[in-house]
């Protein structure tokens, strides 16, 4: 999946069908294979029951396989609910739940062991961006969560923290450059197969076309603008226009 809706902590049972209907009115259902949705855990089953074209994902998993870990959900459990992928290391989880690189690495392994595609989020805070130290920062995030892993298939979402939910989208040419650096680091340093590298941070139907046009951008992770089916559909259409047109 290349264009992913991250619903974060939004959505109730009835919302999904309504969202899907609006999405289908706006975008061509035949192209939905490239789309993904990561609803809250409580809606995974609902999404699975009502359609199978859009890939289904969770927003997190436990770093442990099972056991006495109250409140956690395992890779096997989301697989059992029909998940195809999982978003890992989102900056909101790193900040609010002090998620470490070590824990993220274990989660990547857990996901991979259960045949769930990991979408690893990395991205720098504003002060690092201003100090022009983005490359070093991303390198150390990648080292922390990919070092020592073997033969892992994954996607990476580059999400500058200062762009998430702020309306302050990164410049498309800068995104392109960072993506090519990330690709280069991954192929040089780690035993991973990077399936897609996608951008996240205030993507909407107005700015997505120019972002999708960049050579090293394979898609997008979308928060706020994905909650409305029509809006997500317009972003998907911008993607389809460039990649299927």
- Least separation, in Å, of the C-beta of 20 and ligand PEP? 19
Which residue number places its CB atom closest to ligand PEP?
A: 223
Which of 63, 90, 117, 179 is catalytic? The answer is: 90
Count of Cβ atoms closer than 10 Å to residue 102 Cβ: 11
Catalytic residue among 110, 124, 159, 179: 159
Pick from 164, 198, 211, 235: which binds ligand PEP (CB under 6 A)? 164
Q: What is the DSSP string of 50-79?
A: H-SSSEEEES---SSSSSS-TT---HHHHH
Q: Are strands 152-158 and 55-58 parallel, antiparallel or unpaired?
A: unpaired
- Who contacts 104 (Cβ-Cβ below 8 Å, separation ≥6)? 63, 88, 89, 120, 144, 145
What string marks each residue from 80 to 119 as x (binds ligand PEP by CB under 6 A) or -?
A: ----------------------------------------
Site for ligand PEP contains 201 (CB under 6 A): yes
Counting residues that bind ligand PEP (by CB under 6 A) gives 13
List 36, 89, 160, 223, residue binding ligand PEP (CB under 6 A): 223
Q: 191: helix, coil or strand?
A: coil
Q: Which two tokens stand for residue 127?
A: 């002060």
Closest contact distance (angstroms) between CB of 212 and ligand PEP is 15
18 catalytically annotated: no
**CA–CA distance from 104 to each of 100, 182, 194, 202, 212 (Å)?**
6, 18, 17, 24, 28
CB of 200 to ligand PEP, least distance (A): 3
- Assess contact for 175 and 160: CB atoms under 8 A: no
69: contact with ligand PEP by CB under 6 A:
no
Query: Catalytic: 102?
Result: no
Binding stretches for ligand PEP (CB under 6 A):
6, 159, 164-165, 200-203, 221-225
Catalytic positions:
90, 159
């Amino acid at each position: 999946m290349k264009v992913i809706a991250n619903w974060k902590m939004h959505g109730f049972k009835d919302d999904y069908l309504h969202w899907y209907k609006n999405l289908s009115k706006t975008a061509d259902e035949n192209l939905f294979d490239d789309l993904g949705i990561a609803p809250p855990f409580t809606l995974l089953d609902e999404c699975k029951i009502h359609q199978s074209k859009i890939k289904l994902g969770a927003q997190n998993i436990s770093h442990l396989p099972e056991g006495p870990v109250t409140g956690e959900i395992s890779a096997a459990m989301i697989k059992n609910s029909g998940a195809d992928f999982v978003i890992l290391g989102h900056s909101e989880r790193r900040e609010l739940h002090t998620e470490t690189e070590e824990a993220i690495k274990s989660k990547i392994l857990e996901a991979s062991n259960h045949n769930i595609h990991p979408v690893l989020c990395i991205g720098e805070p504003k002060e690092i961006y201003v100090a022009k130290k983005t490359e070093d920062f991303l390198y150390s995030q990648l080292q922390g969560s990919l070092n020592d892993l073997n033969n892992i298939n994954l996607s990476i979402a580059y999400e500058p923290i200062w762009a998430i939910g702020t309306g302050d989208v990164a410049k498309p040419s800068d995104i392109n450059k960072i993506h090519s650096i990330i690709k280069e680091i991954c192929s040089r340093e780690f035993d991973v197969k990077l399936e897609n590298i996608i951008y996240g941070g205030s993507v909407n139907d107005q700015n997505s076309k120019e972002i999708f046009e960049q050579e090293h951008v394979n898609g997008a992770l979308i928060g706020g603008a994905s909650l409305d089916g029509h809006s997500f559909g317009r972003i998907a259409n911008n993607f389809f226009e460039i990649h299927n047109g």
